[in-house]
Amino acid sequence: MVEVWFFYFFAAIAVVASLGVILLRNPVAAAMLLVVTLCALAAEYVLLGAEFSAAIQVLVYAGAIVILFTFVIMMLNLGQEEVGQLAGFSKWALLLFMLGGAGVILIQRLSMGALPPGVPGGAASDNTYEVGMALFTKYLWPFELASLLILLALIASVVIARKPTFPSRDA
């Protein structure tokens, strides 16, 4: 039962922090809370027996992606957003949306009995090894394609973010 309590604990952290991400006006604070959310989720992954996923979650998400966000925030020197920056129509949208979401969850909750029973002790003994085996045998081609994709993204982001060499249309 300890695991379940740990799960609730980290889930609470994740939900609160992610609420902070979308509600705080300071983008750096939002980014930091995003890190907290990600780390809490990593802890959940450990609880779910996926150590490797937890590690790359922290390594890639917290260690690289959010750092990028922070960099951009710093580069553009985005301070506090002014008050009243929520999109005009969105109070209603938000309400409706949350209601809809809650409804879906409730319905989902009701229909949960149909889920197949879990495989007990399903977690692999050597999680990293198994993930590695799957990645490099069954998913080799997707893996290679993915690496190609990330190379393309690298080049594309350089091209997009580069200072334009032609005169701007407004200038």
Partner 1 sequence: MMQLPVLDETAVQIIATIVKFLVVLVGVLHIPPVMIWVERRVPALMQRRRGPNRVGFFKWRLWGLLQTLADAVKLIFKEESVPGSAYKGFFHLAPLIGLLPTLLFVSAIPFGPAIEIGGWKIPLSVIELDIGLLFILAVTGVGVYGVTLAGWASNGKFSLLGSLRASAQMISYEIPLGLSLIPLVLIYGSLNLQQLILAQSSVWKWGIFLSPISFLIFLICMFAETNRAPFDLSEGESELVAGFHTEYGSAKFALFFLGEYVAMFALSCLCSVLFFGGWQIPFVAHEQLVSLTGSVNIAALCGVMALLLKAAFFMWLYVWVRWTLPRFRYDQLMKIGWKFLLPLGLANVCVTALVLAALA
Partner 2 sequence: MSAMVPIEHSLILAFLLFFIGAAGVLIRRNLITVLMSIELMLNSANLLFVAASRQVGNVEGQVMMSFVILIAACEAAIGLAMVIAIFRRYGNIKTEFLRALRG
Partner 3 sequence: MIWMVLLFPLLGALLNGFLLPRRSKLLSHGVAVAAVAGAFACACCVFLEFFATRHSHLYFGFNWLQAGKFTAPFELVVDQLSGLMILIITGIGTLIHIYAGGYMKEEVTTYRFFAYLNLFVFMMLLLVLGNNLLVMFVGWEGVGLCSYLLIGYWFQEEANAKAGMKAFLVNRIGDIGFLIGIFLTYKHFGTVSFSELSSWMNLMPTLAEPYPKALFWITLSFFIGACGKSAQLPLYVWLPDAMAGPTPVSALIHAATMVTAGIFMMTRLSFFFYAAPDTMLIVACVGALTALFAATIALVQTDIKKVLAYSTVSQLGYMVLACGVGAFDAGVFHLLTHACFKALLFLGAGSVIFAMHHEQDMRRMGGLRKHLPITHGVMLVGVLAIIGVPGFSGFFSKDEILWKAFIFPTYGPILWGIGFLAAGCTAFYMVRLLCLTFYGTPYQDKSAHHHHHPHETPWYMWGPLVVLALLSIGVGYLGVPDFLAHLVGGHNLFAHYLEGLIYIPASAQGAWGHLHAEHAHELEWGLMLSSVALVTLAAGTAVFCYTNRPVRGVASFLGGHFPRLHQLLLDKYRVDECYQRKIVTPLAEISTFLWQVVDVRVINGCVNWVGYLLMGTSGIASFRMTGSLHRYGFWVLAGTVCVLIISCF
**Binding stretches for partner 1 (CB under 8 A):** 26, 28-29, 32, 35, 39, 51-52, 55-56, 58-59, 62-64, 67, 70-71, 74-75, 126-128
Q: Residue 43 binds which entry of partner 3, partner 1, partner 2, none, with Cβ cut-offs from 5 to 8 Å by kind? A: none
Per DSSP, helices labelled H in the chain are: 2-23, 27-47, 51-56, 66-76, 90-110, 127-136, 140-161
Q: Which residues contact 52 (CB under 8 A, 6 or more apart)?
A: 127, 128, 131
Give 18 or 50: the residue with its C-beta nearer to partner 1. Answer: 50
Q: Mutual orientation of helices 127-136 and 140-161 as an angle, nearest 10°?
A: 80
Question: Minimum distance between the CB of residue 11 and partner 1, rounded to whole angstroms?
Answer: 21
Question: Minimum distance between the CB of residue 155 and partner 2, rounded to whole angstroms?
Answer: 10
Q: Are the C-beta atoms of residues 39 and 62 closer than 8 Å to each other?
A: yes
165 makes contact with partner 3 (CB under 8 A) = no
95 makes contact with partner 3 (CB under 8 A) = no
